[in-house]
Amino acid sequence: DAGVTQSPTHLIKTRGQQVTLRCSPKSGHDTVSWYQQALGQGPQFIFQYYEEEERQRGNFPDRFSGHQFPNYSSELNVNALLLGDSALYLCASSLAGTSSGFTDTQYFGPGTRLTVL
């Protein structure tokens, strides 16, 4: 049973560029959440997708957007990259259904390390 997978593993971009990160949830899971983790800090919640819609959103600007596909996989898009966007981006999946998606066990992927120069 495949766990959560993310691609790419590493990415280098320059300021002002746009980036798309991808996530495939654990088999059978219907909810995907995205987090940003700066070095030495805890993950920060970006947003959560369920039934192809953004269900919850953390305190991140509109430059951060996402999408969920019918197969439950998800993308995170970041426009107009800033140096401060350099971080590990984590995807977590859960089987939430109509619950919040946070009270169930979240399974995290290995992350995508984004470096903005």
Partner 1 sequence: GQSLEQPSEVTAVEGAIVQINCTYQTSGFYGLSWYQQHDGGAPTFLSYNALDGLEETGRFSSFLSRSDSYGYLLLQELQMKDSASYFCAVCGNYGQNFVFGPGTRLSVLP
Residue (19 or 23) nearer to partner 1, CB: 23
Site size toward partner 1 (CB under 8 A) is: 25
Using the rule CB under 8 A, give the single segment among 14-22, 24-32, 34-42, 74-82 that binds partner 1.
34-42
Residues 63-92 that bind partner 1 (CB under 8 A): 90, 92
Using the rule CB under 8 A, give the single segment among 13-21, 40-48, 65-73, 78-86 that binds partner 1.
40-48
- What is the full DSSP assignment across 34-88? EEEE-TTS--EEEEEEETTEEEEE-S--TTEEEEE-TTS-EEEEE-S--GGG-EE
Cβ-count burial of 111 within 10 angstroms (0-12 exposed, 13-18 middle, 19+ buried)?
A: buried
Distance CA 104, CA 96 (A): 6
Residues 97-116 that bind partner 1 (CB under 8 A): 99-103, 105-111
43 lines the binding site for partner 1 (CB under 8 A)? yes
Contact 106, 33 (CB under 8 A): yes
- Return the ∠ at Cα 53 (arms to 56 and 69), rounded to 5°: 130
CB 44, min distance to partner 1, A: 7
**Residues found near partner 1 in the complex (CB under 8 A):** 4, 33, 35, 40-45, 56, 58, 90, 92, 99-103, 105-111
